[in-house]
């Protein structure tokens, strides 16, 4: 084929391809955008999947971290903000400044889990003091035998949440007593999957993240029991719901922009869907579902917001 | 007169490796071994990579991968939005980078007065841009295209960024192609009274097209495989619908990246399968480029 | 007798003044604009990096940034020393260059001096294929194949480590270094080689003592280009090398490079205006300046050592 013709052909093909991208496509009424916590992400993603199957509406889910999610939310870029802690004062101010009103929903519960490698046969239960000694700012604990003298001489490799993560905020607040206070020499990431990879790959490794990540990867990880003052409790749906797994069981939130509620029927339907089908979504995504009372409470909030 | 008799020992390899001291022979052998070792490492790694990827990904290489939507369950996940987005991005890059790149090359080769400082600046500039890491283009895109113009995290933004990433490559390749056209062609046309543009459009360009096409396709295949800039401009995690020009998207390399990080072995397999698809796309583009280069190689 | 040629009007002694061809001027303008886009891109990069970076340096002292050895920008007790990231970048680049350079030049010598046309015609496209593999696939390969392999042969590497990434990156760079070096060697005129052979040198001597020195400027350019690509590489290190900013020269340990930090922090989104947002630009600026300087050095070196043959 002569070069000239080849060029014509290729350009035409490219133009055709691009024009299919413009307009057209299956646009079934707007896209709902959600972003935020990577802990809450899998729950909202499962909800989005089921919702699409039922009502053919698209929901995109990002995992920029709780903090990142709020920044975008208060800038008006997203409809929903997923958060593994409640909105803090700075973020409230940001939203107020930008004129973004929102409604807070507790959608599911999490049991923040400490995990170790499956070959770790010496650690079963850690106390709050031990966890604090490991994670506090300036901590020099670098070996398991420093955690407890009865533990073997194995280097301690730490993996955990990045600072943009609500998990990080919650963990540091509860374990170290102050939000954001943590030693910094560990592999920090907003993507909990990296922590799973890290801990499952190293005999002396330890990490923390939301319960669903442990449940998903049970064969590659071992969960530690935590003694919050009332004896050792392993993270599970039961211990999270009856509060025996303290203080690491925590509520997870989805914040919804009021204007999205007002203007977009799909947003209302989606939030209602998440509440009505709470148990099935949570179970499928390996989260701790809300109790019936809690669901009723959230539905009441929903009614108020959409009245 | 001294006669220098070369030592000929038949068990060694024939001359010229025989000249000089005996140690020369084993030096040669050592060197040859070292070279073959280099080749072996390069090609061996390529082979192992391809085999490993294909073997890992084979189970998941089915129509679902190509036509299905992403999901939290690996058994049900597919990469259709990602594949489509990659194709769209490729088309965008082609449409944008080739005209701009070719025109720039024409300018630099045919029109620019080298003594002018601004033209030298442009030249040095393009050389530097070729060396800039692609992630820096991602930062540029984040600041200007996503935020600055406010287009947002849409396919168009991704296409613009990738265009900028490969533009220097297209320019360099086109310049080479233009340079390889002998001057006699131009002079002949001028002698017949053609204007500069006529010479370029009717003589130089047609002769340079194969070289330009090769360079463009190679640049395109690189754009299609780029991940870092797209991550910066927000190719979102979970996108379950076909991409549109002004819509959210996730491209195939980013999808692979996301899947790689999921420890569930099902997703690892899926990532490998998606990698096979990406490799097929990239390698076929490269093959077309190489074919074009061989077929249309002109002897002046 | 041939008929007389009658000249009606002799050619003017002075040719008429060239009339302006507006079409040509227009074309010239369009082309200039196209070329200017590249300049605009550079300006854009500089601005997009410089402004937030300056903002950053108003809050964090440049001294601390460039000399501090702890990189913990996002913690309560924040430290902004970029040194661990730079060290991480150079550790990766060093090891990958160590692998790629000798092997790359070796491949180049083989293709240029030893292989015949047919063999070279087959091998070169295969090398190009190697260079075309998307880096995300290579990163995945490093994490899932190379790291376990290293562990199997007893090297005791961490799950995220610099060595796997360097090895894979090195292999990726071999085609680049090889093809640039080979081009440089091919440009060396035959006469030089023939002269060497005539004097009784064998292939090894000709290759290493005649061709390589003659092509040295191109080979150096290849090396610097390869190194600079290693510095700028993101995906392989992001997937396989880790996110722990620490100063260590042991490639078996986890590290974090500048590019990995930018990629991980910019993943999805960054809160605009926050200190975290600005660290991306400060680190990005550092990275940009480093690659720019290396590129300028390479241009300088090439010009200095270039042997011009007729």
Select from A93, A70, A92, A94 the least CA-distant residue to A81.
Answer: A70
Verify whether the Cβ–Cβ distance A62 to B237 is below 8 Å: yes
C89-145, pLDDT tens digit by residue?
999 999 999 999 999 999 999 888 888 888 888 888 888 888 889 999 999 899 889
The reply to whether A72 touches chain B by the CB within 8 Å rule is no
Beta carbon pairs, A and C, within 8 Å:
83
Verify whether the Cβ–Cβ distance B228 to C28 is below 8 Å: no
CATH number for A39 = 3.40.190.10
**Residues A150 and A63 occupy one common structural domain:** no
How many domains does chain A fold into?
Answer: 2
**Residues A163 and A176 occupy one common structural domain:** yes
Select from A122, A114, A237 the least CA-distant residue to A174.
Answer: A114
Alpha carbon distance A26, B244 (integer Å): 10
Instruction: Report yes or no for ipTM above 0.90.
Output: no
Look at chain C and count its residues.
310
Residue A294, domain member (yes or no): yes
Residue A274, domain member (yes or no): yes
**Residues A117 and A224 occupy one common structural domain:** yes
Q: Which residues of A touch C246 (CB under 8 A)?
A: 185
**Residues A175 and A219 occupy one common structural domain:** yes
The beta-carbon neighbor of A182 closest among C75, C143, C274 is C75
Give the per-residue pLDDT at B12: 32
Residue A22, domain member (yes or no): no
**Residues A131 and A144 occupy one common structural domain:** yes
Rounded to the nearest angstrom, the gap between the alpha carbon of residue B116 and the centroid of all alpha carbons in its chain is 32
Cis omega (within 30 of 0) on the bond before B75? no
Verify whether the Cβ–Cβ distance C158 to A202 is below 8 Å: yes
**Residues A106 and A159 occupy one common structural domain:** no
Q: Choose the final residue of a domain: A234, A260, A282.
A: A234
Query: Could you write out the DSSP letters of every residue in A21-41?
Result: HSS-S---S-EEEEEE-TTTH
Q: Provide the 8-state DSSP code for A290.
A: P
Q: Choose the final residue of a domain: A172, A201, A234.
A: A234
Verify whether the Cβ–Cβ distance A197 to B234 is below 8 Å: no
**Residues A49 and A35 occupy one common structural domain:** yes
Residues in chain C whose Cβ is within 8 Å of chain A: 70, 72, 74-77, 79, 143, 147, 158-160, 242-244, 246, 254, 264, 267-272, 274, 276
C50-77, pLDDT tens digit by residue?
888 888 898 888 888 998 888 888 777 7
In this structure, the number of other CB atoms found within 10 A of the CB of residue B40 comes to: 13
**Residues A59 and A120 occupy one common structural domain:** no
Verify whether the Cβ–Cβ distance A163 to C274 is below 8 Å: no
Cα nearest neighbour of B250 on chain A: A60
pTM: 0.82
**Residues A259 and A225 occupy one common structural domain:** no
**Residues A118 and A104 occupy one common structural domain:** no
SS3 (DSSP) at A57: coil
**Residues A255 and A106 occupy one common structural domain:** yes
Residue A10, domain member (yes or no): no
Verify whether the Cβ–Cβ distance A187 to C244 is below 8 Å: yes
Residue A94, domain member (yes or no): yes
- For residues B153 and B236, the answer to whether their CB atoms sit within 8 Å is yes
Q: Choose the final residue of a domain: A234, A265, A280.
A: A234
Buried b (16+ CB within 10 A) or exposed e, B75-101: eebbbbbbbbbbbbbbbbbbbbbbebb
Alpha carbon distance A244, A227 (integer Å): 10
SS3 (DSSP) at B174: helix
**Residues A190 and A204 occupy one common structural domain:** yes
Select from C297, C294, C276, C296 the least CA-distant residue to C286.
Answer: C294
| Per-residue confidence in pLDDT tens, chain A, 307 aa | 455 666 676 677 777 776 665 544 444 346 898 988 888 888 999 999 899 889 888 888 887 778 778 888 888 888 999 998 888 888 899 899 999 999 999 998 888 899 999 999 999 999 999 999 999 988 889 999 998 899 999 999 999 988 777 788 889 988 988 888 888 888 888 778 888 888 988 889 999 998 888 888 888 899 999 988 888 888 888 888 777 887 888 889 999 999 988 888 899 999 999 999 999 998 888 888 888 888 999 999 999 888 7
Give the per-residue pLDDT at A250: 86
Chain C closest CA to B73's CA: distance in Å? 20
Residue A46, domain member (yes or no): yes
Alpha carbon distance B255, B65 (integer Å): 12
Interface mutation vs chain C, best among B131, B260, B279, most C CBs within 10 Å: B131
Verify whether the Cβ–Cβ distance A4 to B206 is below 8 Å: yes
Look at chain A and count its residues.
307
**Residue A262 lies in domain:** 31-110+251-305
Verify whether the Cβ–Cβ distance A181 to C74 is below 8 Å: no
Residue A69, domain member (yes or no): yes
Look at chain B and count its residues.
300
Q: Provide the 8-state DSSP code for C91.
A: H
Residue A84, domain member (yes or no): yes
């Amino acid at each position: 084929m002569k070069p000239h013709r080849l060029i014509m052909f290729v350009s035409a093909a490219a133009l055709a391809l691009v024009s299919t991208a413009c307009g057209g496509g299956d646009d079934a009424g707007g896209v709902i955008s959600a972003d935020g916590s990577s802990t809450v992400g899998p729950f909202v993603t499962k909800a989005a999947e089921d919702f699409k199957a039922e009502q053919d509406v698209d929901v995109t889910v990002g995992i920029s971290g709780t903090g990142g999610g709020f920044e975008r939310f208060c800038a008006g870029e997203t409809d929903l903000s997923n958060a593994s802690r409640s909105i803090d004062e700075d973020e409230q101010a940001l939203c107020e400044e930008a004129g973004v009103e929102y409604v807070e929903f507790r959608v599911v519960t999490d049991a923040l889990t400490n995990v170790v490698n499956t070959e770790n046969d010496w650690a079963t239960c850690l106390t709050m003091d031990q966890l604090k000694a490991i994670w506090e700012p300036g901590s020099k604990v670098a070996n398991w035998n420093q955690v407890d003298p009865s533990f073997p001489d194995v280097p301690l490799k730490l993996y955990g949440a990045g600072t943009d993560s609500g998990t990080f905020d919650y963990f540091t607040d509860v374990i170290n007593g102050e939000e954001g206070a943590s030693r910094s020499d560990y592999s920090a990431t907003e993507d909990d999957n990296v922590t799973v990879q890290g801990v499952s790959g190293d005999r002396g490794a330890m990490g923390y993240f939301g319960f669903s990540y442990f449940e998903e990867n049970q064969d590659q990880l071992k969960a530690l029991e935590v003694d919050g003052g009332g004896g050792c409790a392993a993270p599970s749906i039961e211990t999270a719901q009856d509060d025996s797994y303290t203080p690491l069981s925590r509520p997870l939130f989805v914040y919804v922009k009021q204007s999205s509620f007002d203007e977009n029927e799909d947003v209302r339907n989606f939030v209602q869907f998440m509440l009505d089908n709470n148990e099935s979504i949570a179970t499928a995504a390996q989260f701790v579902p809300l109790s019936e009372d809690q669901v009723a409470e959230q539905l009441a909030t929903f009614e108020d917001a959409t009245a | 007169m001294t006669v220098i008799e070369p030592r000929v020992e038949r068990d060694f390899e024939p001359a010229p490796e025989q000249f000089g001291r005996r140690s020369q022979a084993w030096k040669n052998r050592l060197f040859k071994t070292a070279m073959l070792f280099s080749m072996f490492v390069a090609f061996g790694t390529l082979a192992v990579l391809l085999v490993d990827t294909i073997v890992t990904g084979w189970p998941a290489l089915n129509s679902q991968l190509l036509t299905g939507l992403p999901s939290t369950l690996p058994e049900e996940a597919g990469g259709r939005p990602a594949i489509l987005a990659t194709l769209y991005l490729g088309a965008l890059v082609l449409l944008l980078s080739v005209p701009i790149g070719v025109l720039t090359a024409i300018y630099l080769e045919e029109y620019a007065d080298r003594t002018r400082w601004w033209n030298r600046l442009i030249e040095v500039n393009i050389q530097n841009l070729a060396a800039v890491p692609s992630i820096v283009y991602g930062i540029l895109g984040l600041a200007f295209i996503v935020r600055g113009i406010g287009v947002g995290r849409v396919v168009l933004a991704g296409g613009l960024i990738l265009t900028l990433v490969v533009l220097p490559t297209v320019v360099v390749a086109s310049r080479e192609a233009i340079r390889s056209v002998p001057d006699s062609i131009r002079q002949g046309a001028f002698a017949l009274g053609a204007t500069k543009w006529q010479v370029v459009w009717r003589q130089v360009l047609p002769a340079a097209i194969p070289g330009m096409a090769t360079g463009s396709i190679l640049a395109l295949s690189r754009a299609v495989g780029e991940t870092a800039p797209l991550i910066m401009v927000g190719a979102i995690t979970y996108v379950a619908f076909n991409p549109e020009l002004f819509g959210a998207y996730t491209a195939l390399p980013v999808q692979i990246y996301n899947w790689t990080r999921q420890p569930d072995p099902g997703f690892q397999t899926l990532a490998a399968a998606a990698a096979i698809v990406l490799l097929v796309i990239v390698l076929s583009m490269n093959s077309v480029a190489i074919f074009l280069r061989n077929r249309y190689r002109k002897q002046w | 007798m041939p008929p007389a040629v009658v000249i009606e009007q002799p050619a003017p002694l002075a040719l008429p003044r060239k009339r302006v061809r507006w079409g040509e001027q227009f074309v010239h303008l369009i082309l200039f604009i196209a070329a200017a886009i590249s300049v605009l891109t550079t300006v854009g990069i500089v601005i997009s990096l410089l402004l937030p970076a300056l903002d950053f340096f108003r809050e964090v002292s440049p001294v601390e940034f460039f000399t501090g050895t702890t990189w913990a920008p996002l913690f309560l007790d924040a430290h902004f020393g970029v040194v661990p990231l730079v060290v991480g970048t150079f550790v990766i680049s060093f090891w990958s260059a160590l692998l790629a350079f000798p092997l790359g030049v070796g491949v180049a010598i083989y293709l240029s001096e030893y292989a015949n046309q047919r063999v070279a015609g087959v091998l070169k496209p295969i090398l190009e294929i190697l260079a075309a593999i998307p880096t995300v696939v290579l990163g995945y390969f490093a994490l899932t194949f190379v790291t376990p392999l290293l562990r199997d042969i007893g090297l005791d590497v961490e799950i995220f480590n610099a060595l796997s990434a360097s090895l894979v990156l090195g292999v990726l760079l071999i085609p680049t270094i090889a093809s640039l070096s080979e081009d440089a060697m091919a440009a060396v005129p035959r006469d030089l080689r023939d002269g060497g052979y005539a004097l009784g040198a064998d292939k090894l001597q000709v290759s290493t003592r005649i061709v390589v020195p003659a092509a040295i400027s191109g080979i150096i350019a290849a090396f610097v280009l390869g190194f600079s690509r290693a510095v700028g590489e993101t995906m392989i290190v992001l997937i396989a090398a880790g996110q722990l900013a620490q100063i260590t020269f042991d490639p078996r340990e986890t590290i974090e490079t500048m590019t990995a930090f930018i990629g991980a922090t910019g993943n999805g989104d960054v809160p605009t205006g926050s200190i975290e947002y600005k660290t991306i630009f400060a680190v990005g600026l550092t990275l940009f300046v480093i690659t720019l300087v290396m590129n300028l050095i390479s241009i300088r070196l090439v010009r200095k050592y270039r042997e011009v043959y007729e």
